[in-house]
Amino acid sequence: MVYDMQLYKYLPPASDRMGALWALSSIREAAVLEYGPAGTTHYAIEGFMQLNAEMQARLFTTHMDETDIVMGDSTRLEDTIKEVDTVYAPSVLFLVASSISSIIGTDLDTICSALQPQTQAKLIPITGGGWRGDYTLGIREVLTALADKIVEERTEELPQACNIIGVNIDCYNFQSDLRELRYLLKEALGLTVHTVFTADTSVSEIKQAANAKFNLVLRGEGLECAELLHKRHGQPYVYGAPYGYKGTLAWLTQVSELVGKEIDANFAKNLRGQATKHSGSVRRALFHYKKLPSLLAGSLMQVQGMNSFLSGELGLDIKHIIVNHNRSTRLPEMDSTLAEKLNFNPSEDEKLALLATVRPSVVWGDGVLLDMAKDAPVKIQVANPNLSSTLIYDGTPFMGPNGATYMVERLMSGLRLSGL
């Protein structure tokens, strides 16, 4: 077997363990216990601080010493589970495997089953440990576990309410996008958001998620969660995300057909008017520039939606698209032109080669790619990893009509300052 070893000047792709911790850390009323050395948990917290998010769950670690590792002794883990349960009384305690506990073969499933009769908290093992793949697998594991282990039977039906699956803190602009989604659904269709998996939620809200009428899945990692909720609780779902003016209208149309409600006529009219006004102004402005070759980077659903807006509605020449994770086994539908542009999880050398080949005038990407693209005249951050940006204000979305207008504003401002 040949292993592809890479050197990183910046950051290696986050593992499934990190994705799981990210998805869990934003859930209020939850406790998360990592079975591993204290240093690895400290590193995870440091990474969390770069996501412009606040820790909502209680995060604990057992620590491990040589005896635990060499002898495979899980006594420390069992004692810590009992202590957290007694002292903090969480309703749910997630047990997360670290890389070391996975290597020595600690069976979290069996330990949780054995200790469950002795604890008040529901014990849920998250067993990836960093060896299954990138962060998207950890997020998928957590979202599916929430649907499987936490969501309870329906107690009432809320016909005007939906759940959002797939707004997580690894999304660079998640706070603003979530606010935009709430606005869109309320103004266009009179709908409310019941539970969010998992950027703005609590254990109590997740337990009651079955009361909502349907689900909106904004990333592929949430499909298993949505399918399980559909099977158990009869909740249909829409898969996709609203990027751009036309893309938002198409997404709202899907939702309206699912719930049997017409989109508010004035809202639809204003949305079409914004599409004509802003897309037209950008196309007229671009007439005075060169072709503006561009690069785009982010997660798969994000770059698919942004590419449709930037190239389809605004007329930018997106040469290549970098997907900041591995290729999923379940790709969303896309045309062959888009598929040919996708580069899944390229190495740093491959990113530098793309930059040298394309020589982009505009780069829409993460902090690492923007730092690499030192000669690009216009650089706009739209994704993580984040090296330096701080996001506090929640009124700068990328999704929805306000997100489309914000991206137009960033582009036009960048072009005016670029000297192109």
CATH number at residue 249: 3.40.50.1980
Distance CA 237, CA 222 (A): 11
* pLDDT > 60? residue 82: yes
* pLDDT > 80? residue 48: no
What's the pLDDT at 142?
97
| Structure tokens, 63 | 């620590």
The larger pLDDT score, comparing residue 311 to residue 62, is at 311
| 284 and 368 fall within a common domain | yes
Range of the domain at 53: 16-133
Q: CB neighbours of 350 closer than 8 A, spacing ≥ 6? A: 343
What's the pLDDT at 282?
77
Task: Say how many C-beta atoms besides its own lie within 10 A of residue 138's C-beta.
Answer: 29
Per the structure, the count of domains in the chain is 3
Q: What is the mean pLDDT of residues 7-27?
A: 85
What's the pLDDT at 42?
47
| 84 and 202 fall within a common domain | no
| 282 and 315 fall within a common domain | yes
Note whether residue 201 is domain-resident: yes
Per-residue pLDDT band at 389 (split at 50, 70, 90): confident
Note whether residue 148 is domain-resident: no
| pLDDT tens readout for residues 88-113 | 999 999 999 876 666 655 788 999 99
Note whether residue 78 is domain-resident: yes
The larger pLDDT score, comparing residue 14 to residue 402, is at 402
* pLDDT > 80? residue 69: no
Contact between residue 98 and residue 69 where contact means Cβ atoms under 8 Å apart = no
Question: What torsion do the CA atoms of 363, 417, 171, 269 make, to the nearest 10 degrees?
Answer: -100
The larger pLDDT score, comparing residue 167 to residue 50, is at 167
What's the pLDDT at 70?
46
What's the pLDDT at 51?
75
| 289 and 412 fall within a common domain | yes
Q: What is the mean pLDDT of residues 235-264?
A: 96
| 278 and 412 fall within a common domain | yes
| 233 and 304 fall within a common domain | no
Contact between residue 177 and residue 398 where contact means Cβ atoms under 8 Å apart = yes
The candidate with the shortest Cα–Cα distance to 164, out of 216, 241, 228, 239, is 216
Which SS3 state, helix, strand or coil, does residue 361 take? Answer: coil
Q: Of 219, 240, 266, which one is at a domain's C-terminal end?
A: 266
| 168 and 293 fall within a common domain | no
The larger pLDDT score, comparing residue 328 to residue 193, is at 193
| 370 and 337 fall within a common domain | yes
Contact between residue 10 and residue 385 where contact means Cβ atoms under 8 Å apart = yes
Q: What is the mean pLDDT of residues 167-184?
A: 96
DSSP state of 15: B
Q: Of 216, 246, 266, which one is at a domain's C-terminal end?
A: 266
DSSP state of 252: H
| 413 and 292 fall within a common domain | yes
Paired with 378 in beta bridges are: 362
Note whether residue 143 is domain-resident: no
* pLDDT > 50? residue 293: yes
Note whether residue 49 is domain-resident: yes
The candidate with the shortest Cα–Cα distance to 385, out of 107, 47, 72, is 47
Helix 400-418 with 245-259: angle, nearest 10 deg: 170
* pLDDT > 80? residue 148: yes
| pLDDT tens readout for residues 274-292 | 888 877 777 777 777 767 8
Note whether residue 9 is domain-resident: no
What's the pLDDT at 355?
96
- Residue 13: cis peptide before it, omega within 30 degrees of 0: no
* pLDDT > 50? residue 143: yes
| 128 and 33 fall within a common domain | yes
What's the pLDDT at 3?
40
Note whether residue 329 is domain-resident: yes
What's the pLDDT at 101?
61
Note whether residue 227 is domain-resident: yes
| 287 and 391 fall within a common domain | yes
* pLDDT > 60? residue 378: yes
| 251 and 125 fall within a common domain | no
